[in-house]
């Protein structure tokens, strides 16, 4: 195939068929948009023409030979991978597949403790023995970020049989770290390196200072195309680097098993177009965007209500974080922002995260006026009593689970009131969402710090999965830890 990054093979082929307006005697049931609820028809009629199935000439995601194969090859070329696979079930399915394809049941795996919940699900499905690497606490951001190289080295010494290293890069807030060194350390130990790069699809743009995990040598990299590039929700990429540590046929097997047998052509078209967008993103567009971001950060500058978090050179320039002053809560500030039409990505117990796109979408004047309105309204709130928040963090350690996944399958569980769970082994994960990073992992001992942190997050209006965690949670029967033994 000729590599021409101006081509859009999936979009072109589907568009050609849609223009013919054929009669549909096949699925889906809306029949190219001819049958649809009249309430939404005006808004959906155009896009429904592209919502097709595996018709002649439209290829098959699970056995691509035509336009999908061509589109994936163009993506691999652009991202610098040996092979790229389109994902229609989000980064979640990519994370599951990369773990199951590279790890055997019982394998020891080193994994970043503050990972996405889909990584934990992949570990459980694969039946591996995870060792959770303790993240470092960043006193500037007042957040846990990534494990240090020293932590990785120590874990490698303690667990020389480890087969894989799983890391998240960048984090939700756009923070990067010395990933290349960690990849090299893991490869020296013959570990396969798997990277959840959900928030770094745009790192492929050469003008950005932030390098992609693909370019840094990771074996498999999963990216959410829809998070930071113009693709539909659930659109993602899985990249395989040139490596002998990955069995590509085994990976394809798990992708076929885990992905929908009716993949969305709308999502695949959007992935094709997102790759085209990135590959044809011009230098002047980038510099225009950076000038805009400079203005946006100036408008967002530190004031009486928040501190704008500083960025390092390699961090994602499209992420802006407000650290809310103690006289207010992030939930209060976010509510004012939303009522003024400014919708943030994430609200935590101390931060508000805003994510900008690859093009300016809010006029500078409008942004400036909106922020002024927000500040004016916040002035009326600062006379309230000071809101005390508990900013203690759980002292994470590098640790294994108290039970193997196989042992968990064989044990009964019971529901216990939250205050009475201390000392038990959790039978379910507790996940504040967003960002989907577990506070408590299934198979870990529950501590007093866990319970206190749940109450702190809830007081700051953070949602949980499961939603009724304040009432209680499931723990494993007869597995209560004697508190006198210590934590």
pLDDT in tens, the chain (487 residues): 789 999 999 999 999 999 999 999 999 999 999 999 999 999 999 999 999 999 999 999 999 999 999 999 999 999 999 999 999 999 999 999 999 999 999 999 999 999 999 999 999 999 999 999 999 989 889 888 999 999 999 999 999 999 999 999 999 999 999 999 999 999 999 999 999 999 999 999 999 999 999 999 999 999 999 999 999 999 999 999 999 999 999 999 999 999 999 999 999 999 999 999 999 999 999 999 999 999 999 999 999 999 999 999 999 999 999 999 998 999 999 999 999 999 999 998 889 999 999 999 999 999 999 999 999 999 998 654 434 444 445 557 788 999 999 999 999 999 999 999 999 999 999 988 766 677 899 999 999 989 998 998 888 778 898 999 999 999 998 655 555 444 4
Residues 260 and 287 in one domain: no
CATH number at residue 101: 3.40.640.10
Residue 1 within a domain: no
Q: Give yes or no: residues 213 and 110 share one domain.
A: yes
18 domain residue, yes or no: yes
- Report the run of H or E that residue 344 belongs to, with start and end: none
Is the same domain home to 172 and 227? yes
**Residues 71 and 180 both lie in one domain:** yes
Statement to judge: residues 201 and 313 lie in one domain: no
* 130 shares a domain with 48: yes
Helix (H, G, I), strand (E, B) or coil at 24: coil
Q: Which domain holds residue 317?
A: 283-380
Among candidate residues 279, 303, 323, the one where a domain is terminated: 279
Domain match, 78 and 154 both: yes
Instruction: Give the global pTM.
Output: 0.92
- C-alpha span between 184 and 181 (Å, rounded): 5
CA distances from 255 to 200, 218, 252, 275 (A): 21, 19, 5, 20
* Domain co-membership, 453 together with 323: no
Contact between 100 and 164 (Cβ < 8 Å): no
Q: Return the closest-CA partner of residue 469 out of 443, 451, 481.
A: 451
Cβ-proximal residues to 303 (8 Å cutoff; 6+ apart), any chain: 375
Please state the domain count of the chain: 3
Are 376 and 467 found together in one domain? Answer: no
Instruction: Specify if 392 maps to a domain.
Output: no
Are 342 and 172 in contact by the 8 Å Cβ rule? The answer is no
Measured from the Cβ of residue 478, the count of other Cβ atoms closer than 10 Å reads: 10
Residues 325 and 447 in one domain: no
């Amino acid at each position: 195939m000729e590599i021409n990054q101006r081509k859009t093979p999936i979009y072109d082929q589907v568009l050609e068929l849609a223009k013919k307006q054929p009669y549909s005697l096949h699925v889906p049931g809306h029949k190219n948009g001819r049958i649809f609820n009249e309430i939404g028809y005006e808004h959906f009629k155009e896009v429904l023409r592209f919502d097709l199935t595996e018709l002649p000439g439209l290829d098959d995601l699970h056995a691509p030979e035509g336009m999908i194969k061509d589109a994936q090859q163009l993506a691999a070329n652009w991202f610098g991978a040996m092979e790229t696979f389109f994902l229609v079930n989000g980064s979640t399915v990519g994370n599951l597949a990369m773990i199951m394809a590279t790890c055997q049941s019982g394998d020891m795996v080193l994994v970043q403790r503050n990972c996405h919940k889909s990584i934990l699900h992949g570990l459980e499905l694969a039946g591996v023995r995870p060792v959770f690497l303790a993240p470092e606490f960043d006193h500037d951001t007042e957040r846990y970020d990534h494990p240090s190289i020293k932590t990785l080295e120590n874990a490698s010494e303690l667990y020389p049989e480890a087969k894989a290293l799983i890391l998240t890069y960048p984090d939700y807030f756009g923070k990067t770290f010395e990933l290349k060194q960690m990849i090299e350390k893991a490869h020296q130990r013959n570990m396969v390196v798997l990277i959840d790069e959900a928030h770094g699809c745009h790192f492929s743009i050469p003008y950005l200072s932030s390098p992609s995990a693909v370019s840094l040598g990771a074996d498999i990299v999963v990216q959410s195309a829809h998070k930071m590039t113009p693709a539909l929700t659930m659109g993602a990429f899985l990249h395989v680097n040139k490596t002998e540590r990955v069995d590509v046929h085994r990976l394809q097997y798990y992708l076929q098993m885990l992905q929908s047998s009716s993949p969305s052509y709308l999502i695949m078209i959007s992935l094709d177009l997102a790759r085209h967008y990135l590959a044809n993103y011009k230098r002047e567009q980038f510099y225009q965007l950076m000038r805009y971001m400079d203005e946006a950060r100036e408008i967002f500058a530190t004031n009486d209500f928040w501190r704008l978090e500083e960025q390092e050179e390699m961090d994602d320039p499209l992420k802006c974080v407000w650290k809310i002053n103690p006289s207010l809560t992030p939930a209060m500030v976010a509510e004012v922002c939303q009522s003024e039409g400014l919708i943030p990505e994430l609200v935590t117990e101390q931060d508000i995260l805003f994510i900008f796109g690859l093009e300016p979408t809010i006029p500078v004047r409008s942004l400036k006026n909106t922020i002024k309105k927000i500040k004016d309204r916040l002035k009326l709130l600062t006379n309230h009593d000071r809101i005390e928040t508990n900013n203690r963090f759980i002292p994470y350690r590098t640790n294994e689970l108290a039970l193997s996944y196989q042992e968990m399958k064989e044990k009964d569980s019971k529901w216990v009131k939250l205050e009475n769970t201390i000392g038990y082994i959790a039978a379910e994960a507790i996940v504040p969402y967003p960002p989907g990073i577990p506070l408590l992992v299934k198979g870990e001992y529950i501590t007093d710090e866990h319970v206190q942190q749940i109450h702190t997050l809830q007081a700051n209006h953070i949602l949980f999965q499961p939603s009724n965690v304040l009432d209680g949670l499931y723990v494993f029967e007869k597995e209560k830890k004697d508190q006198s033994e210590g934590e």
